[in-house]
Structure 1
Amino acid sequence: MSSKRASKKVTFQERIEIVEFTIAHELDYQAAIKKYEVSYQQVYNWVKKYEKFGIDSLQDRRGHNKSKEELSEIDKLKLENKQLKARNLYLEMEKDLEKKLQELNRRNKTFP
């Protein structure tokens, strides 16, 4: 029996239902795969996350950044450092561009 299935978009509530079903049926992953038409890997990962971190770990947080209030002090410093590096790079590029423009202007003045 193959448990390989294409990934399926599943809501937070559906994940809870699938995990609860799997746990209630003594971790019968195959039954969950058949009933909900999801992959073994999805069910396995959701069950492990649920057991280790609780129900909130089943939420899909991909693409969602933490708000500044949620960041730890170290994460805030890392974010500030990243922003300063990006600003520094921008200013360096701007300075280099000005030098190139001045150089081109000087060259154009020397040629009639």
Structure 2
Amino acid sequence: MTKGRKTTFEERVEIVQYCIAHDHNYKETAVRYGISYQQARNYTVKYEAGGIEALQDRRGRTKKEEEMTEVEKLRAENRILRAEKERAEMEASFLKKLSEIERRWD
């Protein structure tokens, strides 16, 4: 079994075109492009379901603010506020511990 490798968007498009042109022969496609059988199949299935845009790697990317719904905007703001609150609590806890250590030295 061939190990999968990272591919660029252009490579994915080329892989899908080759696979479709050769009657969905995933094994041959995988060998030719040095990817796993599953990658070749996944790229082709994604393309057929969602077109060329489905081949974009969107992992780890957030939506732009213009694309967000009101609920998504509120959730994002809530996450930011929670993170700020947690940071403030950690800072207060650290200062409390620091003052305790300083009192011991006196």
TM-score of the pair, normalised by structure 2: 0.79
- List alignment gaps of at least 5 residues for structure 2: none
The change in CA–CA distance for 1:92 and 1:8 in structure 2 (over 3 A counts) is closer
Per the TM alignment, residue 52 of structure 1 is displaced from its structure 2 partner at its CA by: 1.3
Per the TM alignment, residue 68 of structure 1 is displaced from its structure 2 partner at its CA by: 2.2
Per the TM alignment, residue 76 of structure 1 is displaced from its structure 2 partner at its CA by: 1.7
Could you say which residue in structure 2 is the equivalent of 1:5? 2
Task: Report how many residues are paired.
Answer: 106
Could you say which residue in structure 1 is the equivalent of 2:32? 35
Per the TM alignment, residue 42 of structure 1 is displaced from its structure 2 partner at its CA by: 0.6
The structure number with the bigger radius of gyration is 1
Per the TM alignment, residue 29 of structure 1 is displaced from its structure 2 partner at its CA by: 0.9
TM-score of the pair, normalised by structure 1: 0.76
The change in CA–CA distance for 1:33 and 1:97 in structure 2 (over 3 A counts) is closer
CA distance in 2, matches of 1:10, 1:92: 43
Structural mapping, 1:1-112, within 5 Å: 4-104=1-101
CA distance in 1, matches of 2:26, 2:7: 16
Partner SS state of residue 75, structure 2: helix
Identify which range, 62-71 or 85-94, moves more after superposition: 62-71
Percentage identity across aligned positions?
45
Per the TM alignment, residue 108 of structure 1 is displaced from its structure 2 partner at its CA by: 5.6
The change in CA–CA distance for 1:28 and 1:105 in structure 2 (over 3 A counts) is closer
- Aligned amino acid, residue 50 of structure 1: Y
- List alignment gaps of at least 5 residues for structure 1: none
Q: Which runs of 4+ in 1 moved over 4 A?
A: 101-109
The change in CA–CA distance for 1:94 and 1:19 in structure 2 (over 3 A counts) is same
